[in-house]
Amino acid sequence: MTGRAAPKSTVCRATFMALVKVSRALVDQGKGGRKLWPKRKPRSDAKTPAGPDPGAPSFNVRAPAFLVAGNHLRCWKCSGNTAVYALVVAPPFDHRDGARQWEPGTSLAVLAYIESLPERIADHLKLTAPRYFRDASQWHRRPYWMNHCEYCGAKIGDAETIESAIAPLNTERFQPANVKLSHVPQPFEALATLHNCSDQVSVEA
């Protein structure tokens, strides 16, 4: 005759006691300062603030000189009437899309979403427009030169300063009489999106 099988209650109790012993051993390891699980290594593809796309040309706009346009805007966060800026190029200048050939610009153009500038121009902006600098953008997903409120430091994107219909630097109603323009007689290059003015606007150096 075969032996009688152990009651189910006895088997469950034995399993339970074995689990308790394992748990106590793990607790004792923790009290001794040992890590129960190895620290997870950071992923090599973790997202970080990115620079210009390596596959894109370093610059897509070039000009013998450029302008700094200034106006004011009520901050969305603190309601302060803060100064805002944008960079502008006027003919003669050249531009290109991707790897295409350079083409001459035919009208005044305001630059938006500037992802790359030469260091000398960035240094010039630190002096003339200190609240206009490169920063991360959740909407654009790439850092670019944007405005910041001079009172509370809030980010003010180009959608609000240039692209909105009521933006202070909107190209549909861009006129030198409406904005303060400062001519900078330095060779200019940038990787940016061009917004051509709808009307022919002449700018004197």
pLDDT (mean) for 112-129: 96
What pLDDT is attached to residue 48? 33
Determine phi and psi for 120, rounding to 5 degrees. Answer: -65, -35
87 and 144 share a domain?
Answer: yes
Most confident stretch, 1-10, 109-118, 191-200:
109-118
pLDDT digits (tens, 9 = 90+) for 149-167: 999 999 999 999 999 989 9
Name the residue range of residue 12's domain.
7-39
Residue 56 located in a structural domain: no
Residues 6+ apart with CB under 8 A from 122: 133, 134
Residues 6+ apart with CB under 8 A from 102: 62, 94, 95, 96
CA distance between the termini of the chain: 111
Residue 53 located in a structural domain: no
What pLDDT is attached to residue 47? 36
What pLDDT is attached to residue 81? 97
Residue 14 located in a structural domain: yes
Percent of the chain with pLDDT over 90: 56
Give the pLDDT band (50/70/90) at residue 10: low
112 and 24 share a domain?
Answer: no
What is residue 128's three-state secondary structure? helix
Residues in the chain: 205
Residue 201 located in a structural domain: no
Residue 77 located in a structural domain: yes
Ordered strands of the 155-156 beta sheet: 132-135, 144-148, 155-156
35 and 100 share a domain?
Answer: no
* Total domains present in the chain: 2
What pLDDT is attached to residue 12? 58
90 and 179 share a domain?
Answer: yes
